[in-house]
Amino acid sequence: MDDAALPSEAETADAPAQTPATHPRAGEQLSGAEMVVEVLAQEGVDTVFGYSGGAILPTYDAVFRYNERERADADVDPMKLVVPANEQGAGFMAAGYARSSGKVGVFLVTSGPGATNTVTPIRDCMADSVPVVLITGQVARGAMGTDAFQEAPIVNIMGNCAKHVFLVTQPERLEETIRTAFEVARSGRPGPVVVDLPKDVQNWVGEFKGTGLLGIRGYRQRMEALRQTEVTEPKAEAFFEMLGSASRPLLYVGGGAIHGEGAEAVSAFAREYGIPSVSTVMGLGAVDTTDDLHLHMLGMHGTAYANYAVEDCDFIIAVGSRFDDRVAAKAELFAPLAEHIAHIDIDAAEIGKVKGVDWSHVGEAGHAMHSLLAHGRRVGFQRDFSRWGQHCTTLREKHPMGFKEDGDWIQPQGVMRALNDITGGEAIVSTGVGQHQMWAAQYLDFRLPRLWMTSGSMGTMGFGLPAAIGAQFANPEALVIDVDGDGSLRMNLGEMETVTTYGLPIKILLLNNNGDGMVRQWQKLYFDDRFSGSDKSLHRKDFIKAAEADGFEFARRCSDREALPEVIRAFVEYPGPAFLEVMIDPDAGVYPMVGPGMGYKQMVTGEHIPSREIPEIGRGGRVDPSEAF
């Protein structure tokens, strides 16, 4: 969006009142680039990820000079500038920083190819509601539209990927634009905001005001209304009337419960009334996965007992979840016995989009759940759901997760179980995308929110390693582990060097099955073993040598099942960067699995997870290959 098209603050009713200029540099003559850096500092930014280039050099120079001026400790920059191997890596680092901290992640790249390399992380952040601000260099205003060197139409390209895009054409409004970008990124349903910044605007010199925001017509009114939205007394009464008439309520918790600071309230609500819960892949950690009444992940590769609970429940309470195709591939088959569905979400567009609901509230998950909890206590609501809770416990006992535990090959599920025994659900874990992602989601525990980072909606291979780097910068004392696959790790392999360059104690656990395992699993089921493009057994990559070349002093390969527990422990406990490659069974599959377009009744549990019934699926099954993925 061109900020020239925005009304002035004087013309905009919802523009915030100006506050006295209290910034120590207010009134000084600064360059546009210096203003950008001062606003970043105002916003509490301590780490910027990015790759430099001609069109963004003034701002990179301003970061250098800011650190020189503000550095209190000779060894610590107040605004760390982290340089990746690739701009896409910078985007995922900013995303990992944001996902693990709840703060806005920031990345800074040059124009043209630098900016276009960030399209994927921007779309990834939009799909998973992650607040980041991307500042892209742009050619000077006079050269725009002339196909100048390293020019790209970022406003047009990013317009369909980001929550909002600003093109700064009026330098006197630069600092307000940067502040507003942060406001938009973090408010409402979080998301990515892009600021396209011409080089001549960075070089422009003007008075730094130290305060002020752009007037965005109607936006602040909507956000303020959203923040103040209460679960009214009649609405709360209607909710508890449905809960009171239910026998088998189930909390269906998504990533919005984490983004909306609702994890504590959801957990308290579940405990208060003894209501079982399930999580989406993005909601893992919103409820402690070790809790007796939590059934872990539901959906296409959810636990059998979670999916059976969905089949059996009579009241779905959806909190920050959106009934996406990985949960409700065929909406009419999802929760077939549910007499009522309640839905809480920050985004009104999600209400009724996929599945009709009987009760809804548009607002922040935490505020809404606290309101319902307070109402229930105020009116003394009581209902005994212990029989239902016992039923869910029995489901877990009868249909536990299981896998092949004998034979020569190391099974990936066993690797995850061994890792979980050490971390106890308290490590920050990122993943790439594929089978390893689902094994990690199924077998690892997450005791708190913001410990689990994965590319959910976009399913972006190459996400895991740079996201782990961002998370480690945000949480320098935390144990951060990237669980990756050989296909995904190759996508951003250059960031291995970034880990050692900055001396980050990240642990990279590579599950190597010499191929794109999830693709291969689908080719087995639906394409008669035609492994087109997915067999990587002839690839010559020696990941251990690659790790050593990038400076990993701990770089080991494990193919011995008996040695695995000891090796995993040594890997996790190593004090610096560590790389462990585990050679796993190339034929291992991800189960349970709900085929595309099917309901949970057709869930396939494989050979090692007891099933309630055995559906027809696989070769000659009823799935159209065109529906794959």
Distance CA 440, CA 511 (A): 11
What confidence score (pLDDT) does residue 622 get? 47
pLDDT score at 619: 42
Query: What pLDDT does residue 621 have?
Result: 44
Structure tokens at 434: 């594929």
| Annotation says 150 is catalytic | yes
Catalytic residue selected from 35, 496, 518, 603: 518
What is the pLDDT, as a whole number, of residue 21? 53
pLDDT at 534: 87
Is 235 a catalytic site residue?
A: no
- Answer yes or no: are the C-beta atoms of 14 and 217 closer than 8 Å: yes
pLDDT for the residue numbered 231 = 95
Query: Which one from 42, 64, 144, 150 is the annotated catalytic residue?
Result: 150
Q: 97: which 2 tokens?
A: 């920083």
* DSSP line for 231-254: --HHHHHHHHHHHHH-SSEEEEE-
In this structure, what token pair is assigned to residue 597? Answer: 């377009």
User: Token digits for 69?
Assistant: 């001026």
Residues ≥6 apart with Cβ < 8 Å to 197: 32, 36, 56, 59, 135, 136, 137, 138, 168, 174
Q: Among 38, 87, 175, 176, which one carries the catalytic annotation? A: 87
Contact indicator for 133, 159 with CB cutoff of 8 Å: no
Active-site pick, 9, 93, 103, 199: 199
Q: Which helix (H) or strand (E) holds 396?
A: helix 386-398
345 three-state secondary structure:
strand
In order along the chain (629 residues), what is the average pLDDT of each group of 10 residues? 35 41 89 98 98 98 96 87 98 98 98 98 98 98 96 96 97 98 97 98 97 91 88 97 98 96 96 98 98 97 97 98 92 95 96 95 95 97 97 97 93 98 97 97 98 96 98 98 97 98 98 92 90 83 97 97 96 98 96 92 94 58 46
Question: If you write DSSP's letter for every residue of 284-335 in order, what string do you get?
Answer: TTSS-TTSTTEEEE-STT--HHHHHHHHH-SEEEEES----TTT-SSGGGSS
CA distance 334 to 318: 13
Q: Tell me the whole-structure pTM to 2 decimals.
A: 0.93
Per-residue model confidence (pLDDT) at position 3: 40
Q: Are strands 192-198 and 554-558 parallel, antiparallel or unpaired?
A: unpaired
pLDDT score, position 596: 85
Output the CA angle 319-320-326, nearest 5 degrees: 100
CB 162 within 8 A of CB 120: no
The length of the chain, given as a count of residues: 629
Residue 555 dihedral angles phi and psi, to the nearest 5°? -145, 105
**What confidence score (pLDDT) does residue 7 get?**
33
* 3-state SS assignment for residue 272: helix
Q: Which of 29, 149, 207, 573 is catalytic?
A: 149
Query: What are the tokens at 130?
Result: 């992650």
